[in-house]
């Protein structure tokens, strides 16, 4: 599966949702997640994310993000259409420690 990671938080570009062939993105207040059981590992979303927040779970040290994606994709609503990102999304791009900003 592919995993949405820290740099999505407060950037939330949503370009990813437009390309997913199985519509497996789910939306929280300031981040999206991928449902790990629905993702078919096609990889097309990875290069679409301007924040480079989407990674294959074969990369090291993604366990915490994989659990977060698995947990919240169960309850957050599905999203398939991009909207405008948050007004201050550029200020947050690349900032460290964004997990503290995560809103479930
Ligand atoms: Fe969707 Fe493919 Fe990305 Fe998985 S890898 S979330 S199936 S676009
Ligand atoms: Fe997040 Fe990137 Fe999608 S910032 S909303 S994973 S395009």
Q: Write the pLDDT tens digit of every residue in 2-35.
A: 999 999 999 999 999 999 999 999 999 999 999 9
Q: List, for residues 27-84, the tens digit of each pLDDT value.
A: 999 999 999 999 999 999 999 999 999 999 999 999 999 999 999 999 999 999 999 9
Query: Which atom of ligand 2 is nearest to 52's Cα?
Result: 2
Tell me how many degrees the CA angle 67-92-77 measures, rounded to the nearest 5. Answer: 45
What's the pTM?
0.97
- From CA 6, how far away is CA 18, in angstroms rounded? 20
Q: How far apart are the CA of 53 and the centre of ligand 2, in A? A: 6
Main-chain dihedrals φ then ψ at residue 84, nearest 5 degrees: -70, 140
Query: Which atom of ligand 2 is nearest to 7's Cα?
Result: 4
Q: How far apart are the CA of 8 and the centre of ligand 2, in A? A: 5
């Amino acid at each position: 599966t592919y995993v949405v990671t820290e740099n999505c938080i407060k950037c939330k570009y949503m370009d990813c949702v437009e390309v997913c062939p199985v519509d497996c993105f789910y939306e929280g207040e300031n981040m999206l997640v991928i449902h790990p059981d629905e993702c078919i590992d096609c990889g097309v979303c990875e290069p679409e994310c301007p924040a480079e927040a989407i990674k294959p779970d074969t990369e090291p040290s993604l366990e915490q993000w994989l659990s977060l994606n698995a947990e919240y994709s169960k309850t957050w609503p599905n999203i398939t259409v991009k909207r405008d990102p948050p007004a201050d999304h550029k200020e947050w791009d690349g900032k460290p420690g964004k997990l503290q900003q995560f809103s479930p």
